[in-house]
Structure 1
Amino acid sequence: MAYSDFTPERLRNDFNVTFQGSDLFPQVVSIAPSPWLVEALERANSIGFGSEKSRSERLVTPILLELAKRNQHQFAILSGAYLDIDPARGLNGECDFIFSFTRLQDFVLAPVFCITEAKKQDVEQGTAQCAAQLVGAAQLNERDKKPVSRLYGCSTTGIEWRFLCFENNVFTLDETRYLISDPGKLLGVLQQIVDVTRAQTQPIVAL
């Protein structure tokens, strides 16, 4: 078993979590994308992106790089890292992107505060997988004594982005879907996630 095998029902049964819907970012402030990001997304659209990997590289990665630069690289964004926390309970496997307040890019360190899962077509299945990864991230943070009370996640096709948060064993799924065609609003949501988390915990620099 691994993160990709989870369904909402199994998450409820195995970890006693619940799900609800809400508007997570009712007052999101749009952030103007840089000329570099605008050009990167234009090139991605002109080249195309048929596979899950190409969508991740050409649509998701530029957005996340823009976010990291806006925040002076105060956190790491790890790509394709493994979050093997409790394999016996299925909390193991690869994550597309893990956000952690550390400068170390070699492996995952707490505190993890956001996970983005890029799926080719199925946002709903990606949401369940991302939710399972957030359970693993919460356990990592607790184990390393760097708890974060509210963890964020995102399931995306690159074109459509669906956010969720995990707090007090409750998953809240955002009722608003964000589109790559409005990168300013998307950056605004991601910046809000960084700001909310920064208020919860002090950034840690790994040497």
Structure 2
Amino acid sequence: MSYSQFSIELIKTNFGINISERFGIFSNIPEVEYSNFFAQTLHEYVPLALSIDTEKARSEFIIAPILFEIKKQSPEPISLFSGKEFNVDLEKGLTGFCDFLISRSPEQLLIEAPVFAVVEAKNDNIQSGLGQCMAEMVAAQLFNERKGNEVKRIYGAVTTGSIWKFMRLEGQVIEIDLNEYFLSNVGKILGIFRSGLESNS
């Protein structure tokens, strides 16, 4: 079994996770300002990604630039991983490759303290990526516990590039924000990422 095979029901059954769905969990987080260079990058990249209209194009031309902007803006050193194998517990099925992971560590060669898991929605279907993202969040929590990392909350995002949905895991509860956040308000998306990173600093 791998991360991509998990459903929400399996997450609840296999790991005893409670799911809490609420509107606006992250809606009060302030927007983050960004550079003209980043704005221009998105202005040029987004139409190309949407015209190509593949997961790979959205990943390369929308998601990756946003995550790189988060890394650039972070006041503390963080590391960013793309397509990295993250095998935490074979027996529990917490194995496989993660689309993107953000770690609260400057170490770029090895994953050290994962905080944020980002999953590309398959076929532009946000719902299809929720189980996978939750599995990666549970794996990150277990990884940090075993390493003695003081990471209280694990965050997750499922995205089509244009639409973003955020979650957070603390203890045995995953909270899902039923709001969807849109690329047209990328400052809010950056703000949610920054808030998640800062809450564990």
**Distance across 2 between alignment mates of 1:8 and 1:68:** 29
Aligned residue in 2 for 1:25 = 26
Alignment of 1:1-207 (within 5 A): 1-22=1-22, 23-48=24-49, 49-72=52-75, 74-109=77-112, 111-120=113-122, 121-198=124-201
Q: Contact between 2:115 and 2:154, CA under 8 Å: does it hold in 1?
A: yes
**Distance across 1 between alignment mates of 2:150 and 2:85:** 19
Q: Contact between 1:33 and 1:183, CA under 8 Å: does it hold in 2?
A: no
Alignment-mate amino acid for residue 38 of structure 2: L
**Distance across 1 between alignment mates of 2:175 and 2:47:** 35
SS in 2 for 1:172: strand
**Distance across 2 between alignment mates of 1:31 and 1:51:** 28
Structure 1 residue 72 displacement after superposition: 4.7
Structure 1 residue 186 displacement after superposition: 1.1
**Distance across 1 between alignment mates of 2:45 and 2:12:** 38
Aligned residue in 2 for 1:203 = none
Q: Contact between 1:130 and 1:153, CA under 8 Å: does it hold in 2?
A: yes
Q: How many residues align?
A: 197
Structure 1 residue 73 displacement after superposition: 6.0
Structure 1 residue 26 displacement after superposition: 3.6
Q: Please, which moves more after superposition, 34-43 or 19-28?
A: 19-28
TM-score (normalised: structure 2): 0.93
Q: Contact between 1:150 and 1:167, CA under 8 Å: does it hold in 2?
A: yes
**Structure 1 residues 14-34: Cα deviation after superposition (integer angstroms, max 9, x where no partner):** 111111112322421112221
Gaps of 5+ in 2: none
Which structure 1 residue ranges, 4+ long, deviate > 4 Å from structure 2? none
Q: Percent identity?
A: 29
**Structure 1 residues 66-123: Cα deviation after superposition (integer angstroms, max 9, x where no partner):** 11111256110111111101122210011111111222212211x2111111124121
Q: Contact between 1:30 and 1:187, CA under 8 Å: does it hold in 2?
A: yes
TM-score (normalised: structure 1): 0.90
Aligned residue in 2 for 1:205 = none
Q: Contact between 2:121 and 2:127, CA under 8 Å: does it hold in 1?
A: no
Q: RMSD of aligned C-alpha atoms?
A: 1.4
SS in 2 for 1:152: strand
Structure 1 residue 38 displacement after superposition: 1.0
Alignment-mate amino acid for residue 119 of structure 2: E
Q: Contact between 1:78 and 1:107, CA under 8 Å: does it hold in 2?
A: no
